[in-house]
């Protein structure tokens, strides 16, 4: 098996006045290899606006904008993360840079993430 990210049909939903929201199914089982989750248009910023997953073993998830690490989550066994769409953005990539994930353990991690791209985001 290999790391995969598969964009699904865009949802007729907006976040921060922008849309559509694009769900991406991500499966990772290989460590030390960045997986490009989604690449925005060159003149757009990508916002991670939702994520749902749970781990069956201790693991880490590094989230990057291009090659720049934004955050590394250290997860214990049976710990997960859920942020529903509509709760605001979790993080942003730099303009035109891909959202990338990297896992620290060779255990199968499957998650769904939701992204939206725009030239800029204005949140109240």
pLDDT in tens, 24-59: 999 888 888 899 999 999 999 999 999 998 877 888
123 pLDDT band, cuts 50/70/90, is low
Q: Which CATH class is domain 4-14+21-117?
A: mainly beta
Domain residue limits, the chain: 4-14+21-117
Task: Identify the residue whose tokens are 């990508």.
Answer: 46
Mean pLDDT of 82-107: 89
Q: Is 26 exposed, middle or buried (0-12, 13-18, 19+ CB in 10 A)?
A: buried
Range scoring the smallest mean pLDDT among 14-18, 81-85, 92-96, 98-102: 14-18
Are the beta carbons of 116 and 22 closer than 8 angstroms?
yes
């Amino acid at each position: 098996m290999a790391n995969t990210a598969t964009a699904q049909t865009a949802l007729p939903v907006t976040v921060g006045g922008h849309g559509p929201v694009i769900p991406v199914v991500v499966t990772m089982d290989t460590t030390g290899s960045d997986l490009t989750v989604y690449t925005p248009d060159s003149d757009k910023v990508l916002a991670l606006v939702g994520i749902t997953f749970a781990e069956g073993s201790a693991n880490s998830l590094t989230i990057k904008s291009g090659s720049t690490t934004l955050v590394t989550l250290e997860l214990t066994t049976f710990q997960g993360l859920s942020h529903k769409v509509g709760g605001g953005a979790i993080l942003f990539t730099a303009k035109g840079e891909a959202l990338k994930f990297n896992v620290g353990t060779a255990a199968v991690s499957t998650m769904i993430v939701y992204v939206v791209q725009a030239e800029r985001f204005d949140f109240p």
